[in-house]
Amino acid sequence: MTMAFIWTGMVVISLLCALKTGRLELLGAAAMTGAEEAVRLCLSMAGAMCLWMGVMEVMKRSGLAEKLSQLLRPLLAALYPALGRDEQVMADISANVSANLLGLGNAATPFGVRAARRMAGASGGFASRDLIMLIVCNTASIQLIPVTVAAVRAAEGAGKPFDILPAVWLASAISLAVGIGTAKLLGFVWDRRGR
């Protein structure tokens, strides 16, 4: 609902500014050009997303996704110590992390939502430490292959859409480390204040 107000406000302000400056025809042309570019970008991104969703499905059917999940289990067990026995939640978190590693945020979302629902149900609807950690790790995930960003860059004419890999790896690793550290620190502070 809030986004509806924001978009409506932006349109009204644009119209008022165009009327005041006498550039209503430029606003109309910009709106049409923007709509055309949005459709082109969506189609370009849809192709890239279909490709990588297909790769994810092949990984799943070949058992590679399960092997990646098993490889991640020790790390995830350390991050989510209270969930070690809940196989379904750990499987969803592993799938979420695997999809995020491949830069498939859209594919990661259903797994993250399913894990978050089970975690919230187990904690009475409140955000447990593990649920907070899931949100932090999902938001600041490491991306080995930033598919969405590369698709946008390719759609905008970048000659080498994946030449940003080192910067993406560094930025995502730093953001994940800071997020995990902050979550752990705030959890420690919260425990100390609660005593």
Cβ–Cβ under 8 Å, residues 141 and 97: yes
Lookup: tokens for 144: 């080995």
Q: For residue 14, give its domain range.
A: 2-194
Residue closest to 187 by CA, chosen among 105, 120, 128, 143: 128
Amino acid, single-letter form, for residue 78: A
pLDDT by residue (tens digit) across 84-115? 677 788 888 888 887 788 767 777 788 888 88
Residue 31 confidence (pLDDT) above 90: no
Cα–Cα separations (whole angstroms), residue 164 to 47, 56, 127: 20, 22, 35
| Structural domain count of the chain | 1
Q: Token match 């000659």: residue?
A: 159
Confidence of residue 13 (pLDDT cuts 50, 70, 90): very high
Close Cβ partners of 153 (under 8 Å, ≥ 6 residues apart): 161, 164
pLDDT by residue (tens digit) across 109-152? 888 888 888 888 877 777 788 888 888 888 888 878 787 788 78
Residue 195 confidence (pLDDT) above 60: no
Amino acid, single-letter form, for residue 177: A
Q: Residue 194's pLDDT is what?
A: 59
DSSP state letters, 14-36: HHHHHHHHT-HHHHHHHHHHHHH
Cβ–Cβ under 8 Å, residues 49 and 57: no
DSSP state letters, 62-119: HTHHHHHHHHHHHHHHHH-GGGTT-HHHHHHHHHHHHHHHTT-HHHHHHHHHHHHHHH
